[in-house]
């Protein structure tokens, strides 16, 4: 069921404003208006100031990138009393989440899980802004999912030379941020790449951090290309959003040695925040995470550190249930809650750590036929009932100490 971008946004917006058929819990909104988006994606709040909202203190984040797509396909979210949540961004904001992370693809397939183009991001970001959250924009610099195992160029960029590719990174970043600024949704944080441990825009900017002799991607030429792409992206960020924090994000939250090698290779890049993914079933124990944070804090004392992705399964079908290295935490609602509580306690020991984001917390009940459905069983809502899970309230504790 392929929807045009405008029809998709219009349907989603109608559902936001009209709400589900279940009874509405008026207390959830605390008297605040729901976001309203018309068919063109324009907000009804024309008097929104240009200055972005910047929370004081630490950032408690939710990557809500799939929320709009799920809303358009009638996903169900409920509070602790099993009452329908009409405005999910407002529910997050009212419960202590002060920043929303949104991924952006260049020319994605709009009828897929990776459907977040610029129109989609604008519509989503307005709702997050209107709820009172600031925005972290996550550039993937790809038409589809980018991570350490794949960093494919956008199809329209395939034939560009390395120099022209660097220019394209600059102009694309500049144009995107200018559009967002003109829409009064200026990001406070900007990721220039997503989990770029192995570089970006392969193979021009592909690198290796493993230190293997003879590795064709661990050469000065490859690292020079990669650094050039990061440099041009950062230049565009500073030009349009001079007050935003620039994040360089890798996945090695529990691997101090590799993280140290990576960030030592980009010392000349203009950025503010070391962004790490940390999933215990892939990246090891909390003590390994602590070692990574300690190492990076010591070697990069002028940088903030954020865990920009984390997550943990809550039932036997979660994709981590058969994976080693997740300690004594069971894949149950209580196990999920215990993991997040212990993670918050660990992170609050470090002054350099200023942000914590949960990835895809909005996973919930949705029709199995939806092309936007992602099955991981590690969201913060029960996928069978849509009811919020106990772990939802753990993350905001990060900002209270």
363 is catalytic: no
Closest C-alpha to 368, from 111, 86, 75: 75
d(CA 141, CA 144): 9
In 241-324, which ranges are continuous DSSP H helix? Answer: 256-264, 280-283, 286-299
Q: What's the alpha-carbon Rg for the chain, to the nearest Å?
A: 20
d(CA 244, CA 236): 11
d(CA 375, CA 179): 33
d(CA 307, CA 293): 10
d(CA 21, CA 182): 35
Locate 193 and state its tokens: 């790449």
362 is catalytic: no
DSSP assignment of 314-368 equals -STTSTTTT-S--TT--SSHHHHHHHHHHHHHHHTT-TTEEEEEEESTT--B--T
Active-site hit among 309, 330, 362, 363:
309
Active-site hit among 183, 195, 304, 362:
195
Would you please indicate which residues are annotated as catalytic (active-site) residues? 195, 309
């Amino acid at each position: 069921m392929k929807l045009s971008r405008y029809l998709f946004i219009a349907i989603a917006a109608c559902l936001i404003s009209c709400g589900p058929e279940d009874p509405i819990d008026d207390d959830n909104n605390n008297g605040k208006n729901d976001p309203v988006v018309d068919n063109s994606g324009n907000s009804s709040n024309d008097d929104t100031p240009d200055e972005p909202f910047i929370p004081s203190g630490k950032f408690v984040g939710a990557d809500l990138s799939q929320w709009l797509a799920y809303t358009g396909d009638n996903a169900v979210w409920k509070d602790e009393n099993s009452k329908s949540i009409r405005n999910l961004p407002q529910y997050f904001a009212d419960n202590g989440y002060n920043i929303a992370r949104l991924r952006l693809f260049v020319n994605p397939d709009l009828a897929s899980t990776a459907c977040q183009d610029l129109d989609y991001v604008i519509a989503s970001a307005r709702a997050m802004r209107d709820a009172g959250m600031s925005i972290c924009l996550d550039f993937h610099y790809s038409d589809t999912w980018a991570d350490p195992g794949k960093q494919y160029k956008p199809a329209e960029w395939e034939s560009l030379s390395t120099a022209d590719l660097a220019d394209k990174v600059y102009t694309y970043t500049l144009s995107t941020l200018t559009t967002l600024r003109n829409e009064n949704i200026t990001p406070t944080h900007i990721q220039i790449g997503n989990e770029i441990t192995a570089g970006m825009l392969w193979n021009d900017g592909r690198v290796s951090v493993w230190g293997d002799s003879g590795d064709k991607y661990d050469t000065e030429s490859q690292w020079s290309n990669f650094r050039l792409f990061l440099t041009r992206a950062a230049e565009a960020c500073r030009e349009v959003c001079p007050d935003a924090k620039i994040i360089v994000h890798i996945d090695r939250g529990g691997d101090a040695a590799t993280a140290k090698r990576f960030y030592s290779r980009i010392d000349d890049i203009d950025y503010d925040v070391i962004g790490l993914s940390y999933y215990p079933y892939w990246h090891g124990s909390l003590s390994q995470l602590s070692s990574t944070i300690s190492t990076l804090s010591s070697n990069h004392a002028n940088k903030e550190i954020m865990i920009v992705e984390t997550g943990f399964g809550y039932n036997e079908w979660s994709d981590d249930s058969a994976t080693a290295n997740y300690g004594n935490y069971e894949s149950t609602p209580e196990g999920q809650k215990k993991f997040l509580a212990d993670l918050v306690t660990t992170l609050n020991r470090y002054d350099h750590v200023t942000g914590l984001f949960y990835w895809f917390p909005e996973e919930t009940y949705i029709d199995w036929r939806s092309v936007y459905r992602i099955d991981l069983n590690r969201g913060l809502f029960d996928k069978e009932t849509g009811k919020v899970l106990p772990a939802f309230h753990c993350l905001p504790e990060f900002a209270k100490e």
